[in-house]
Amino acid sequence: MIGLLQTMPFLQDLTLTHWIAAYNEDSSLMNPYPTNAVLSQLRSLKFTTKTVVQSSLFMRRLSLPQTTYIHLHCAYEGFREIPLYLPQMQLDGSDPLPFTRLKVVYTLMGVRIHGSPSVIDDPCGSFTLDMMDMTLRIWIGTTSLLHPLSLQSVTALMLDTCGFFVDCSPVLAFLHTVETIEILFSPLGFLSSPLGSFASSLVVPHAEDGRQCIQMLCPCLRRLEFTTRYRDTVDPAFFGTLAAVLDTRSEAGSPLEEAVVQGECVRSKELRSVDEMKQRKVWKFMKQ
């Protein structure tokens, strides 16, 4: 396969689905001193295989431009090994474009992680990983999937919990620069514990002298938005917990400029007052 690709240097789009036959027998992949296929004009690569390891063996044999959209689709495997094999994408001596937007979507079949260097919906330089697993192992292992990716510049996060009870803390711990977070959630699976993650803190070294200090998760967070799946009603406990989160972040010196529920801005004082909430449009989504 590598030899074939070497004859197509002007290839712009490449899709390989379940190309796994004779993987271990392919000398062009297993050769310890291989010659890469240089695809300098490739716009998109979509690759479906059984494991991240197989994806990585193939990816490391390609030299691609920074702007190539890469979409890997594979099944679950041991999360301990995943950081060793996810593509680092040191292509032609260039680092991958840093992601500014991250999307993590849990589904009934697994998890999708999508990173983009643009704040708009542009595939240029983006990376998508679909990890398929119908068990709860996938929720526990999300941080292993995120670990090798370049997330130091992420300013926007979209998280879809698909109705599952998901602890956000491990994911949020990666996102020191995130400014806006949008969460699509189920009222039954997103109450005090996941929401409370936004009021959690970490012990981090001080930037100047290296001494340890306490810092809120996502210290740059300014906008937090919640929308229920299918516009379902919300338990009143959610509003009380959100008010506590807003107060905690303000007291810790990491206040939010905007909190949005079902498309409407809310404030801590309003969230604690039933009378004031009844005057807001968001009240119609509250369980009576």
For 164-207, write each residue's pLDDT tens digit.
666 777 778 878 899 999 988 765 445 444 566 777 766 555 55
Residue 23's pLDDT band, with cuts at 50, 70 and 90, is very low
Residue 46 identity (one-letter amino acid): K
Window from 8-22, 29-43, 183-197 with minimum mean pLDDT: 183-197
**CB atoms inside a 10 Å sphere around CB 72:** 23
119-125: Cβ within 8 A, 24+ apart: 119/155, 119/156, 123/44, 123/69, 124/67, 124/69, 125/66, 125/67, 125/68, 125/69, 125/96, 125/97
**pLDDT of 236 higher than 90:** no
Q: Tell me, what's the pLDDT at 100? A: 92
**pLDDT of 158 higher than 80:** yes
**CB atoms inside a 10 Å sphere around CB 13:** 12
Window from 8-22, 68-82, 196-210, 268-282 with minimum mean pLDDT: 196-210
The encoded tokens of residue 219 equal: 């210290």
Mean pLDDT of 218-224: 90
Cα–chain center distance at 197: 16
**pLDDT of 223 higher than 90:** yes
User: DSSP letters of 141-161?
Assistant: THHHHHTTS--TT--EEEEE-
Which residues share a beta bridge with 266? 259
Q: Tell me, what's the pLDDT at 206? A: 54
Q: Tell me, what's the pLDDT at 154? A: 92
124: Cβ contacts below 8 Å, ≥ 6 apart:
67, 69, 117, 118
Name the residue ranges covered by the structural domains of the chain: 69-285
Instruction: Look at residues 104, 139, 131, 134 and name the one whose alpha carbon lies nearest to residue 50.
Output: 131
Task: Find the length of the chain.
Answer: 288
Strand (E) or helix (H) holding 241: helix 236-251
Task: Give SS3 for 246.
Answer: helix
Instruction: Look at residues 156, 158, 40, 154 and name the one whose alpha carbon lies nearest to residue 98.
Output: 154
**pLDDT of 214 higher than 60:** yes
Distances (CA, A) of 173 to 28, 216, 257: 40, 9, 20
Residue 124's pLDDT band, with cuts at 50, 70 and 90, is confident
Highest mean pLDDT among 27-41, 96-110, 139-153, 157-171: 96-110
**pLDDT of 119 higher than 80:** no
C-alpha span between 109 and 155 (Å, rounded): 27
Q: What is the pTM of this model?
A: 0.81
